[in-house]
Amino acid sequence: MPTTLPTPGRPPRDAALDLLKWLALLSMLIDHLRHVWPQLYAVYIPGRLAFPLFCLAIAANLARPVAGERGPIPLRYLGLLLGFALLSEWPYRLLVQTPQSLNVLPTLALGLLIASAAQHPHGQRRWLGLGALVLALFAHPWLMFGLPGALLPAAFLYALQRPNPGWVWPLVLCLLGNYWPPFYIDAARGDPFAWAVILSCALAPLFGLWLLRQPLALPVPPVGRWAYLFYPGHFLVLVAIREWLG
């Protein structure tokens, strides 16, 4: 039974996809709590779910059937990502006081263009995807999750179209995007926290793909465009809480 009545000319909402988006937002919020309470460093582990689930949501949205022909590029989707990437950079740097990269939305915007080109490798999409790939390659040091992160939506799109062995590529790219040598050094020494982080990175894309394939019959509130405002907004709220706590 669908969670909402279908609109003529539009496929019904996917409860599993909405749940996926809620989990991505929740895990992102939990991850960022450590910037207010540093003693909560363990939230870094569930926080590794957020980025893969956002990338999978992009791939799932591209893969969904639409009424009529798709436009040459997903302009509205891309515009929201780029606009809020600019809007979110200052709040992001207020919360993360020694950032190693830009906020995550530029990576997702490049990932959208690359995945869109992988889906329809011709015309304008192909050239925009190629340009995004080149930009991601050169901007790798400044992108959150780097070049692997920009490739992750395309890898998820491939995995949705070819489940076996497509799931391997999101797993590999997720590990590469989160690669940090000290974790692997600590893991080699048997450190349980390091192993938990690595396993979280490896299992996050597999969990997302599994969840998206579940025929959920429960009502899941839709995640609308308010989620774009939630991104810079939650930075500002956490900064305010940190300042209030002194």
Domain extents in the chain: 15-245
- In this prediction, residue 120 carries a pLDDT of 87
Taking the complete model, does pTM exceed 0.85, yes or no? yes
For residue 206, how many C-alpha atoms fall within 13 Å in the half-sphere facing its CB?
11
Residue with tokens 């793909």: 209
How does pLDDT run across 141-196, given as a tens digit for each residue?
999 999 999 999 999 999 999 878 889 999 999 999 999 898 899 999 999 999 99
* More confident of the two residues 221 and 218: 221
For residue 6, what pLDDT is reported? Answer: 43
The average pLDDT across 230-244 equals 97
Four-residue CA torsion sign, 161, 49, 232, 224: positive
| pLDDT tens digit sequence for 42-88 | 999 999 999 999 999 999 999 887 655 555 567 888 999 999 999 99
pLDDT tier at 8 (50, 70, 90 boundaries)?
very low
CA distance 164 to 155: 12
Count of other CB atoms within 10 angstroms of residue 198: 20
Nearest to 171 by CA among 160, 161, 156: 156
**pLDDT value at position 73?**
66
**Greater pLDDT, 2 or 166:** 166
Pick from 18-27, 113-122, 170-179, 235-244: least confident = 113-122
CA distances from 111 to 13, 21, 74, 132, 186 (A): 23, 17, 12, 8, 31
User: Is it the case that residue 228 has pLDDT exceeding 60?
Assistant: yes
